[in-house]
Amino acid sequence: MTLFNPIEITQSDRQRYQKPSLGLIYALSVPLVSGIYHLCLVDVGGFGLGGWLWIVMLLVGVAVFGLECALGKNDRVAFPVTPWLPFAGLLWASLLWCQGSGTYPIQMACQMTMPIFVGVAVSSYIQTERELRLLMFMFVINIALLVLGFLVELVMAGGHITEMGFRVGALTAMLPAAVCLTGTWKRRFSPWIGWGICLALAAVSGGRTATLAMLGMPILHPTFGRVVTKAAALGVTLLLFLALFFTPHFQDRFFHGGSGQLSDLTNGDINTSGRGEAWPLIWREAMKRPVLGAGVGTSGPFTDLVCNLGGHPHNDYLRVVFEVGFVGFGLFIAVVLWQSRDLLLRIRSSDGVVRHAFSAVWLAWLMFLFTSLTDNTLIYCAAYMNPMFALLGGAYGVHQRQRSTSREASDVLSTCGSTESEMLG
């Protein structure tokens, strides 16, 4: 048990999990894989080992879910998949008119829709508060794995931080940071340590968007309702931002020449690493097929032709418009708004560890929407989206069972009351 763990695992919990089900094991492995992903620095068959992880997880996940269905457990699915089907269906349907070639479009379709499958599956595997608590504890272990991955990359870079490629690791750290920070309802100080470690990983590795996102977490915390608390969180956030902003490493990442002022941020005079030059070109190409787009997976190859952004547009909203047009963008925004509203409703209608889980997903969800402005979070299934949807699915699973149990208890009491009245009559 770590110092900053906001989740309490009791002795009865440990005894309960001596023989976990296959589905539960799969659910618990999702956040662990997101941490291990950054330790997979070797190539296998011409592809990075980390890239193979999501494929293995998908194949294993389908097999486990199929087995659960064969055992008659598929009726326990609690994840609200229906709102996600129009957007996911259009992504796969776009393969019919896709301008891409080879298997890459299918790969991108899998990566963007796999989190939905993970949410559906985990919602049927996580049924009790103890199971949900254990799932959340895996995110504490995730932090340790991220720290290890950072250290390994630092050694491989010869101790030169500027030579590291830990940018995706900075994004991954946002989710365990959200889990820790939303644990402040349980403990007053220790969850901040976990959030601080994740923030340090993002800041030191030069993850600009992820660092800014995590700095905003205390302000966006859904259960910090008092004005004084919000004001204090805002003050601390501003102080941390100023402290990080003037560090040599952050200056080098933000500005051409390695130096700049706060006024340069508002003027847009910053180093966008090629994004500012690439986005107008990508948008112009997208407007050639504005209704249904060029098909899933086509934005990456086009980006390779016009700029050096690593084969991705580094803006998921632009990616969606390019690949499935304004029809797909409209469906995406619709499900984003629906999911945001539903999360807030679930936070208000739950308590304890379930409320903690929904609150953590709420923060992680906002971080996803924010970082998608300058990154490719939507396709980082193994590193970020899968674990976020796993936690969302687990929260839905427990919440639905609690509500079902409550309704059953109310029905029993109502029946008993009616029977008693009839006897008295």
The model's pLDDT over 289-308, given as tens digits with 9 standing for 90+, comes to 999 999 999 999 998 888 87
Taking the C-alpha atoms of residue 179 and residue 394, their distance in angstroms, rounded to an integer, is 13
Q: Which segment of 51-65, 73-87, 139-153, 319-333 scores lowest on mean pLDDT?
A: 73-87
In this prediction, residues 300-323 reach a mean pLDDT of 89
pLDDT at 21: 86
- Tokens read off for 395: 């929260």
Residue with tokens 């500005």: 255
Residues 165, 41 contacting (CB under 8 angstroms): no
pLDDT at 72: 73
Q: Is the per-residue pLDDT at 257 higher than 90?
A: no
In this prediction, residues 229-239 reach a mean pLDDT of 69
Taking the C-alpha atoms of residue 196 and residue 216, their distance in angstroms, rounded to an integer, is 13
What is the H or E stretch that residue 151 is in? helix 129-156
Angle at CA 249, nearest 5°, toward 280 and 238?
Answer: 85
Using the CB atoms, write b or e for 376-406: b if 16+ within 10 Å. Answer: bbbbbbbbbbbbbbbbbbbbbbbbbbbeeee
Taking the C-alpha atoms of residue 421 and residue 425, their distance in angstroms, rounded to an integer, is 6
Q: Is the per-residue pLDDT at 250 higher than 80?
A: no
Residues 368, 97 contacting (CB under 8 angstroms): no
* Residue 44, φ and ψ in degrees, nearest 5: -130, 120
Three-class SS state of 14:
helix
Handedness of CA 165, 169, 174, 180 (dihedral sign): negative
Residue with tokens 């979070």: 377
* Residue 48, φ and ψ in degrees, nearest 5: -65, 140
Q: What is the dihedral of CA 26, 221, 343, 323, to 10 degrees?
A: -80
The model's pLDDT over 55-98, given as tens digits with 9 standing for 90+, comes to 999 999 999 999 888 877 666 889 999 999 999 999 999 999 99
The structural domains of the chain, with segments of one domain joined by +, span 22-224+274-413
Three-class SS state of 43:
strand
- Tokens read off for 372: 């998608």
The model's pLDDT over 32-62, given as tens digits with 9 standing for 90+, comes to 999 998 887 766 666 677 778 899 999 999 9
Residue 163: Cβ within 10 Å count: 11
pLDDT at 159: 76
pLDDT at 1: 37
pLDDT at 364: 96
pLDDT at 259: 58
In this prediction, residues 133-153 reach a mean pLDDT of 93
pLDDT at 17: 47
β-strands 47-48, 43-44 pairing: antiparallel
Q: Is the per-residue pLDDT at 2 higher than 50?
A: no
The model's pLDDT over 363-412, given as tens digits with 9 standing for 90+, comes to 999 999 999 999 999 999 999 999 999 999 999 999 999 887 766 555 55
pLDDT at 254: 60
Burial of 413 (0-12, 13-18, 19+ CB in 10 A): exposed
How is residue 319 annotated by DSSP?
A: H
- Tokens read off for 147: 């720290």
- Tokens read off for 386: 């899968």
pLDDT > 90 fraction of the chain, expressed in percent and rounded: 50
- Tokens read off for 57: 């997880």
Taking the C-alpha atoms of residue 102 and residue 330, their distance in angstroms, rounded to an integer, is 28
Across all residues in the chain, what is the average pLDDT?
A: 83
Which pairs count as long-range contacts for 275-278, CB under 8 Å and 24+ apart, including other chains? 275/309, 275/314, 275/315, 275/374, 277/307, 278/303, 278/306, 278/307, 278/309, 278/313, 278/314
Residue with tokens 């790969």: 107
- For the chain, the C-alpha Rg in angstroms (whole number) is 23
Cα 380–chain centre separation: 9
Q: What is the dihedral of CA 180, 185, 190, 195, to 10 degrees?
A: 30
